[in-house]
Structure 1
């Protein structure tokens, strides 16, 4: 089996900038749609709805509809999603390392942009 095939499969499931933040938001327990929207800053309701559908379809998130009034819909991680723990931690470590690398190289255009972003986030 090619090394690229499983990587492509993983990226197809986790593509975009929202799926991993949604998964991370759900690591602390089940949440309603509005709670996820508050925790994942910048996502629109339409995009959140689409991303949750994709995550449910891929077996990473479970959607539960409670027969109550009003109807309560919650989202939670599935046991299968726990297999992403090492991936998320590796991405976190790499992100910290990469940010340090970029910030130590202030002569590049990328570093200048990174400095600007870091300063914006600190303010």
Structure 2
């Protein structure tokens, strides 16, 4: 009887897991955040370098996304007291850990695409 009770018991995802997924999606959601993060995985970049590397992103959108990533503790902005002023962007330690998330997304995406193409 207890086996039947266990089978019928509804398992719930822990609330902190749902919150963690929402937090992650809030930080990396959007068309441009992951490309920006991917570009910064290869080192420190200036604004123009990021814009050239990503392509098709407007300066206004790049600035907005960098500010959001900075507010979320993923990107750090360093201003140098030079003439003209030099500004560089790099990933924080937290930002560097997104590589594992990105690798998992790529792996899942490749497998999913393969399955969908086979079916379609």
Any idea what the Cα deviations from partners look like across 1:8-65, whole Å, max 9, x if unmatched? 1111111112111100100111001111111112211111100000011111111011
Aligned residues: 106
1:41 aligned partner: 55
The equivalent residue for 1:78 is 92
Instruction: Indicate whether 1:15 and 2:63 are aligned.
Output: no
Dislocated runs of 4+, deviation >6 Å: none
Gaps (5+ residues) in structure 1? 107-123
RMSD across aligned positions (CA): 1.2
Task: Identify the residue that residue 71 of structure 2 maps to in structure 1.
Answer: 57
Task: Give the TM-score taking structure 1 as reference length.
Answer: 0.80
Q: Which runs of 5+ in 2 are unaligned?
A: 1-13
Which residue pairs with 2:44 in the alignment? 30
Q: Which has the larger radius of gyration?
A: 2
- State the distance in 2 between where 1:95 and 1:8 align: 20
